[in-house]
Amino acid sequence: MMISTDFSVAIAGGGLSGLCLAQYLMRAGIDVHVYERDPGPFVRRQGYRLILDRYGLEALRESLPVPLYRLALATSDEPGGHLRFTDSRLRDAFTITFKDELHATRQVDRLTLRSILQSGLDGRIHYGKDAVAVDSGGPGRLRLRLRFSDGGAAAANVVVGADGVGSALRAQLMPDADPAYAPMAGVYGRSPLRQGGRSVIPDALRTSGVLAIANQPGRAFFFTSMRFGESPREAFARMAPGSFAPTGDDYVMWGLLLRPEQVPIRFRGDLLALRQLAVRMSADFHPLIRRLVDTAELDATVLNLFATGRRPRRWAVPRATMMGDAVHAMPPFGAHGGNTALRDAALLGHRLVEALTNGAPVENAIAGYQDEMVSYAFRAVDTATRLMSRLTGNAAAPHWVLTRVLPRLHRVTVPWA
């Protein structure tokens, strides 16, 4: 339904949730603008692939025009698959099987998905705009002003903070909810899937993600392949001509999980040092894992210090709210983070459109969104945090079962070579 209104929304942050909300509101005829601190759309790495569950897929279906939603499906990996938990030698401990249903699970490339979410938002995404505060008293009926570090401001009826775990708006809008850093960090990388004319991932792991747990607690290695269902360049040319299409070369995304204190401060902005750290800390893993690290693209190396969001108790500015990692940062265990952020966007969009359609107070719509979002989002935070603790914590007995007992009950999935 299109809404004829002069109502406007300013979104701080051009990540997945901010762009998804912008798509939802624009389809409904609401004037929406996204303000992103980065100077351009693809100036830094923001992860590689993510698994979309039914909540993430439903959020995209509700928010995107039909051709763009079909584009997301066309470029995604096949549905279904497995997540294998193994020891450092890639001997299975146990396996989780995802539903093999068309709209239940999809693996997507994050860069491709961002390109899709940006499509059609020409003139509505403003780069180099670092949001720092929200003020009351915009001109006319515009209740708020979103202020930027360069001294500029944007007036809007509603302001949404979607500016990530390092949000500058959180201290003002959610003054009691700064996240806590988790006792784990990740050095992420990306390696070509095909090397020497063949896949580096054996057929036994073709549709699997793998979390290999080291013999000593507090260290693990995750990897999974990203195969595009259709070349993004070909799919974009057919479904979204004129939009930026990533190259779409199949790859393996991997992450070395370790303690933050194992990453020296001087390494944290040094890609070569992080790569060398990954080589050293994976030396006792299976040769397949060592090969992935050895062949990784240096400029694709990313350090992520995991954080855990704290449940907000107070929302300080009426008509201003937040979503995504700015509210509920969570460790990347269980594939909840991106899905929860997209779910936020669709829910907030629905609540705002519903209120404007029915003439209901926008403040009530936002409050309803916040109550519902906090409930499901922090269940996901708790789940991810518990899973991180169980798989990488210091508890000797569970770790012994995962790495010494269960693997002896299974065949070797990938022979040592």
Q: Are strands 208-213 and 82-87 parallel, antiparallel or unpaired?
A: parallel
Q: C-alpha 72: how far from its chain's center?
A: 15
Q: How confident is the model at residue 213 (pLDDT cuts 50, 70, 90)?
A: confident
Residue 1 in domain:
no
Rounded CA-CA distance 60/75 in Å is 14
> Is position 416 within any domain?
no
- Of 252, 251, 229, give the one whose Cα is nearest residue 239: 229
* DSSP letters spanning 112-170: HHHHHHHTT-TTTEEES--EEEEEE--STT--EEEEETTS-EEEESEEEE---TT-SSH
Q: Which helix (H) or strand (E) holds 342?
A: helix 337-358
% of the chain exceeding 70 in pLDDT: 88
Considering its fold, how many domains does the chain have in total? 1
Give this prediction's pTM.
0.92
Asked, for residue 417, whether it belongs to a domain, the answer is no
Distance CA 330, CA 377 (A): 9
Indicate which CATH number applies to the domain containing 211: 3.50.50.60
- The per-residue pLDDT for 81 is 73
In this structure, the strands spanning 302-308 and 153-156 are unpaired
Torsion sign across C-alpha atoms 345, 348, 351, 355: negative
**Position 192 confidence tier, pLDDT thresholds 50, 70, 90:** very high
The half-sphere exposure of 304 on its side-chain side, counting CA atoms within 13 A, is: 24
Residue 137 belongs to a domain: yes
Let me know if residue 2 belongs to a domain: no
3-class DSSP state of 223: strand
For residue 4, what pLDDT band results from cuts at 50, 70 and 90? low
Domain coverage including residue 402:
8-409
pLDDT, tens only, 29-78: 999 999 999 988 776 665 688 889 899 999 999 999 999 999 999 999 87
Taking only the tens place, the pLDDT of each residue in 73-124 is 999 987 657 788 888 888 887 777 766 655 678 889 999 999 999 999 999 9
In a domain, 380, yes or no: yes
Q: How many CB atoms lie within 10 A of CB 331?
A: 25
415 assigned to some structural domain? no
- Whether 39 is in a domain gets the answer yes
Look at the block and give the residue holding tokens 């195969």.
227
With 70 as the cut, is the pLDDT of residue 136 above it?
A: yes
